[in-house]
Amino acid sequence: MKKLTIETKTDILFALFITCLITANLLGTKITTILGVSISVGIFTYPFSFLITDIITEVWGKKKAYNLILAGFISLIFLLGITYLSVKLQPHARYSYNESYVLIFSSSLRMIIASFIAFALAQSHDVWAFHFWKAKTKGRFLWLRNNASTIVSQFIDTTVFIFIAFYHLTPKFDFAFMWHLIIPYFLFKIAFAIIDTPFCYLGVKWLKKTPESNTIKQTNG
């Protein structure tokens, strides 16, 4: 069996990154309870996007990582447009679930808007912070830059997203209540960031394990 090239592996990571974003936005309206804390089911996919960003940044450098973010941003805009169109189109007479369809995906519209604003800010910070810590540590301690960049970026993402998506959604969702949502959700994301550290090492090793990796390493210094 022919070995995957570094370009093919990178394409796979790009595809997984886009899948994580779309899945989190389409499924994220459902709330579940873990350890007594109410969280969106989107938490099971969205944190993986930061893991993939860090793997791409470590191997390819800042330019490729920003291309990844741009691809994700464009995909979210496209998703927003398609979702809006699908909600507004009149249903066929045989389709009896339109009320539920509109209820679910209308909620998704505000979440998608919140998501791509939070996404752009958090992911851009993640790439910048990853390079900042890489320079400070002279390329050592991947675990440090992986966690230091992701934890702060997740705080930005969580805070911006929750305020845009839920603030004044009902009278209950006031400024103080926003922090009741943000803090536990952010703590879960910190836990995910720490847990995914070994996978960051494995992902970097997997992506570099090709003949082309020497060329990439020379290009990125």
DSSP string, 113-151: HHHHHHHHHHHHHHHHHHHHHHHHTTT--HHHHHHHHHH
Per the structure block, which two tokens stand in for 112? 């998608």
Summarised one tens digit per residue, pLDDT across range 102-124 is: 888 877 677 778 888 998 899 99
Residue 216, pLDDT > 90, answer no
Domain definitions of the chain by residue range: 6-211
How much of the chain exceeds pLDDT 70, in percent? 93
d(CA 50, CA 69): 10
d(CA 162, CA 129): 22
pTM of the predicted protein model = 0.84
Amino acid (1-letter code) at residue 213: S
Non-local (6+) Cβ contacts of 80 within 8 A are 109, 112, 113, 116
